[in-house]
Amino acid sequence: MQREVRTRYAPSPTGYMHIGNLRTALYEYLIAKSQNGKFILRIEDTDQERLVEGAVDIIYKTLKLCGLQHDEGPDIGGPYAPYVQSERKDTYLPYAKELIEKGHAYYCFCSKERLDALRKEAEEKGQTYMYDRHCLGLSKEEIEEKLKSGQPYVIRQKMPREGSTSFEDAVYGTITIENNMLEDQILIKSDGLPTYNFANVIDDHLMGITHVVRGSEYLSSTPKYNLLYDAFGWEIPVYVHLPLIVKPDGSKISKRKGDAGFHDLIEMGYLVKAIINYIALLGWSPESNQEIFSLEELVKEFNIKHISKSPSAFDMDKLRWFNAQYIRAMTPDEFYEHARPYLEKAITNKNIDLKKVSKLLQARTEVLTEIPSKVGFLNELTDYDLNIYVHKKMKTTLENSLESLKAAVPVLESIEDWNEETIHNKLLELVNQMGIKNGQLLWPIRTAITGWEVTPGGAVEIADLLGKEETLRRVHIGIERLEKALAGNC
CATH of the domain at 193: 3.90.800.10
3-state secondary structure at position 179: helix
Q: Are residues 193 and 95 in the same domain?
A: yes
Nearest partner of 155 among 231, 218, 217, 79, judged by Cα: 231
Residue 411 clears pLDDT 60, i.e. is over it? yes
- 348-356 mean pLDDT: 94
Length of the chain: 490
Examine residue 208 and state whether it is found in any structural domain, yes or no: no
Q: Are 73 and 83 in contact (CB under 8 A)?
A: yes
Give the span between the Cα atoms of 310 and 140, in whole angstroms: 49
Examine residue 143 and state whether it is found in any structural domain, yes or no: yes
CATH number at residue 291: 3.40.50.620
Q: Are 13 and 55 in contact (CB under 8 A)?
A: yes
Pairing of β 211-215 and β 238-242: parallel
Model pLDDT, residue 490: 53
Tell me if the bond preceding 82 is cis, omega within 30° of 0: yes
Model pLDDT, residue 338: 98
- Of 139, 170, 202, which residue sits at a domain end? 202
Residue 297 clears pLDDT 60, i.e. is over it? yes
Residue 145 clears pLDDT 90, i.e. is over it? yes
Examine residue 166 and state whether it is found in any structural domain, yes or no: yes
Q: Are residues 269 and 286 in the same domain?
A: yes
Q: Which residues contact 157 (CB under 8 A, 6 or more apart)?
A: 99, 104, 105, 184, 185, 186, 187, 198, 224, 227, 228
- Of 262, 288, 316, which residue sits at a domain end? 316
Model pLDDT, residue 1: 62
Q: Are residues 444 and 340 in the same domain?
A: no
List pLDDT tens digits, range 17-55: 889 999 999 999 999 999 999 999 999 987 777 777 888
Please, where are the H alpha helices in 330-391? 332-346, 354-362, 371-375
Q: How many CB atoms lie within 10 A of CB 466?
A: 22
Cα dist from 482 to 53, 293, 407, 469, 478, whole Å: 61, 52, 14, 20, 6
Helix axes 354-362, 332-346, angle to 10 degrees: 120
Model pLDDT, residue 257: 73
Q: What is the DSSP letter of 221?
A: G
Q: Are residues 30 and 123 in the same domain?
A: no
Residue type, 220: S
Give the span between the Cα atoms of 356 and 332, in whole angstroms: 10
Examine residue 327 and state whether it is found in any structural domain, yes or no: no
Structural domain of 132: 89-202
- 2-6 mean pLDDT: 90
At residue 462 the predicted structure's pLDDT band, cuts being 50, 70 and 90, is very high
At residue 252 the predicted structure's pLDDT band, cuts being 50, 70 and 90, is confident
Q: Which residues contact 439 (CB under 8 A, 6 or more apart)?
A: 391, 393, 394, 395, 396
Q: Are residues 19 and 109 in the same domain?
A: no
Examine residue 237 and state whether it is found in any structural domain, yes or no: no
Q: Which residues contact 361 (CB under 8 A, 6 or more apart)?
A: 335, 339, 371, 374, 375, 456
Q: Are residues 132 and 179 in the same domain?
A: yes
**C-alpha dihedral over 482, 484, 488, 490, to 10 degrees?**
70
Q: Are residues 189 and 170 in the same domain?
A: yes
Catalytic residues: 255
Q: Are residues 337 and 299 in the same domain?
A: no
Q: Are residues 59 and 152 in the same domain?
A: no
CA 181 from centroid of its chain's CA atoms: 35
Q: What is the DSSP letter of 418?
A: -
Examine residue 14 and state whether it is found in any structural domain, yes or no: yes
Q: Are residues 259 and 293 in the same domain?
A: yes
Query: How many distinct structural domains can be found in the chain?
Result: 4
Examine residue 220 and state whether it is found in any structural domain, yes or no: no
Q: What is the DSSP letter of 239?
A: E
Q: Are residues 258 and 287 in the same domain?
A: yes
Give the span between the Cα atoms of 275 and 295, in whole angstroms: 11
Q: Are residues 140 and 184 in the same domain?
A: yes
Model pLDDT, residue 55: 87
Residue 212 clears pLDDT 80, i.e. is over it? yes
Examine residue 236 and state whether it is found in any structural domain, yes or no: no
